[in-house]
Amino acid sequence: MVLISLTCPTCHETDVVKYGQTSDGKQRFYCQNAQCPRQTFLQDYVYQGKIPEVKQQIVDMTMNGSGIRDTARVLHVSPTTVIATLKKRTRTSVSESENVVPCTTRSLPCRTQESL
Ligand SMILES: [Zn+2]
C-alpha cells in the first residue's frame, strides 16, 4: 500500500479520501473538511485558476464585495487571474448578476467573510 501525501486544493487539509474515478479513469478524491466548499477534486489539477469552479468563485466573491486582491488571496490564484476571469465574464454574466443570491442563502459556506 502506498500512502500519498495529498492535500485538498481549496482548503489544503490532508483529510482527504479516495472517492471513485472520473469517466476517463482519473482518481477522484473527497475532502472531509466540513468547512471546505470543495467536496471532490482530482489529484492532477495543477493550477486552481484553471478550474471552472474557481472561476465561478472569483465572480461570486467579486459580486459579494471582495476586492481583486482579497479574492486572489482566498482562492490562491494570482490577481492577474482574477482580473482576466472577470474580464472574460463581463459579457456573459449580465443576466447572472440579476440573480445574485445573498451569501446566507447559499448552500456553500461564504468564503468572503473569512477574508475580512
Ligand atoms: Zn477541502
pLDDT in tens, 42-86: 776 555 556 777 888 899 999 999 999 999 998 888 898 889 888
CA of 37 from ligand 1 middle (Å) equals 7
What's the confidence (pLDDT) of residue 95?
46
Highest mean pLDDT among 31-40, 42-51, 94-103: 31-40
What's the confidence (pLDDT) of residue 94?
47
CA of 43 from ligand 1 middle (Å) equals 12
d(CA 78, CA 50): 11
CA of 113 from ligand 1 middle (Å) equals 17
Is the four-CA dihedral 30, 70, 97, 87 of positive or negative sign? Answer: negative
**Smallest Cα–Cα separation from 35: which of 111, 92, 116, 100?**
111
Q: Kindly indicate the confidence band of residue 25, based on its pLDDT and cuts at 50, 70 and 90.
A: confident
CA of 3 from ligand 1 middle (Å) equals 18
Give mean pLDDT, residues 11-16: 86
pTM, to two decimals: 0.38
CA of 10 from ligand 1 middle (Å) equals 5
What's the confidence (pLDDT) of residue 21?
85
